[in-house]
Amino acid sequence: MLSFLSGCATTVHVPQPAPQLSSPPTPTTVIEHVSSVSTAATPDNVISEPPPTVTPPVIISPPTVTEAPKRVDEGQAKTLLFQLLPSDIKDRQGWRDDIFTAFSHLKIPLEASYFCAAIAIIEQESSWQSDPIVPNLDNIVWKEIEKKADNYHIPMLAIKTAFLKTSPNGKSYKYRIDHLRTEKQMNDLFEDMASEAKQLGLPLGIKNPIRTGGPMQVSIEFAEGHIRVWPYPYRYKGSIRSEVFSRRGGLYFGIANLLQYRVNYPVMAYRFADFNAGRYSSRNAAFQAALAKLSAEKITLDGDLLMYKTDAMSETLQTLLALSKRLGLSRSQIERDLKLEKTEGFSQTMLYKRVFELAQQQTGRVLAQQVMPQIKLSSPKITRKLTTEWFANRVNGRFKQCMARAPDSTPL
């Protein structure tokens, strides 16, 4: 019966690739473009606007730190971070300490632009709630359960009767669904269901469908991959999944996903788009744009160069194969280079260089190395048309507000 619930995960920010851990990211400049969207953050308008469905592979590589961040005074850095945090948040010092610990252990430069990037994402995703409230979560879950039940021609009465069983916390499963308010509560609910699958008459080996959590809505799969290549700074009991739903863990893994990889974007907005759509999506969308100019074919600029859910060939790969002679690359060479699309190294491949070289020769101008991914956001919680570009601009507005709080002497 729990298979009915597999579509009920409340956020669709699907697993990002585990980090290609290398040297700290190159500092980016302050954003010039101010979002036209209102930047007032409330739980309702933040939590109900999740990222899109994107499914890149999880890539786990050993860290290769090639340079150390410049030495700065940690006391000054903590003072700067405290100044950048909104003055009205609860437990401001606790938030500062958890953010600072993440930066220190992840070897991210202690600079205003990086602090503000993390602050902007936190505001957008949770409005400074460590366990953010999801409006109308109980109804969302029941509606998704009903859809699944209809597919199997099982009456809802039978399902709700099964859920009357008392769960490990002393409440019935039905009661817990009826009173769901946060993703952590929902995660705990599914964990209990999984542990009692046999007693409930549910399939053994069921999987918890909750894929993201915490104040930055970071992917649980990303977190589980990250600890295999980079040491987690906290002692903990239980699973990394549970740590993601804590403030300290959610911030640590969220900041790692946002900032612990190198890109050469001229402005931070593209990194925000990557956080929403997957690492390197803005770079890959620029590659698709260059390929579209070279081939005179229409290509969706979604930043995904390969398809992972099916065996079907992506339109990017199809277009590249049609141009193989012009590119001077064989099919095996093209496919080999495309498999690096979720890594920093893709921009150093012969495929990447040839596409941009020929496209720039054809157009007679230098082409952008980054483009906003064109992705429509999809979730049971979304009731209006939203895109990755909207998300990036929204966060960008919050980023600029944060940078306005920085003293003139920053960065350190």
Mean pLDDT within 90-117: 98
pLDDT of residue 363: 97
DSSP conformational letter for 166:
B
pLDDT of residue 13: 37
Kindly tell me the sign of the dihedral angle through the C-alpha atoms of 370, 376, 380, 384.
positive
pLDDT at 248 over 80: yes
Which helix (H) or strand (E) is 397 found in, with range? helix 388-403
In tens, the pLDDT along 253-291 reads 999 999 999 999 999 999 999 999 999 999 999 999 999
Phi (first) and psi of residue 213, to 5 degrees? -170, 175
User: What's the CA gap between 403 and 291, in Å, rounded?
Assistant: 36
pLDDT at 252 over 50: yes
331 three-class SS: helix
Confidence of residue 72 (pLDDT cuts 50, 70, 90): confident
Mean pLDDT within 48-75: 50
* Contact present, 298 and 379 (Cβ < 8 Å): no
Mean pLDDT within 211-227: 94
24 prior amide bond cis, ω within 30: no
pLDDT of residue 250: 97
Which token pair is 307? 């398809």
Most confident region among 301-310, 338-347, 382-391 by mean pLDDT: 338-347
Mean of the per-residue pLDDT values of the chain: 83
Among 64, 74, 50, 103, residue whose Cα is nearest residue 251: 103
Non-local CB neighbours of 257 within 8 Å, separated by 6+ positions? 16, 19, 216, 218, 219, 222, 275, 279
